[in-house]
Amino acid sequence: MGSWIARVGAALIDGLIVDIPLVIGYLIFIPSLLGGSPPGTASQLLAFVCFIAAFALAVWNQLIRQGKTGQSLGKQALGLRLVRETDGQPIGFGMCFVRALAHVLDSLACMVGYLWPLWDSKRQTFADKIMSTLVVKT
């Protein structure tokens, strides 16, 4: 099973990857707001493109790539893979989407669901338990 700290590291890497276009978008948009004038059309368009790129990158990395291969970029960097508990295969796009929704349960009650792998024998979050998935070392 993948360690809790490796899972946290993978999540941080995945977050940083998505944050790059977001930061660029904010850096384009914010200066015009701070200057007291409304943002120009060009800065609005560039910021919008950056925000759409961040969203597309997140969908590709967390749902499409991870669904197909079992690895987001962060999981790949740290040698982890998301698999079905029954057969060890990747769970696919649709189930990755449902698992992402199920992570809402991990956030309830002071994020205890994200901490659950620290003492769970299979190192599963609540979302993993619902989806019958495991995060394993490759």
User: Tell me: the pLDDT tens digits for 34-75?
Assistant: 776 777 788 889 989 999 999 999 999 999 999 999 999 999
Number of domains in the chain: 1
Residue 114's φ and ψ, nearest 5 degrees, are: -75, -25
pLDDT tens by residue, 87-99: 999 999 999 999 9
- DSSP structure class, residue 5: H
By residue range, what is the domain housing residue 69? 4-137
Q: Which of 21-25, 33-37, 84-88, 101-105 shows the lowest per-residue confidence on average (mean pLDDT)?
A: 33-37
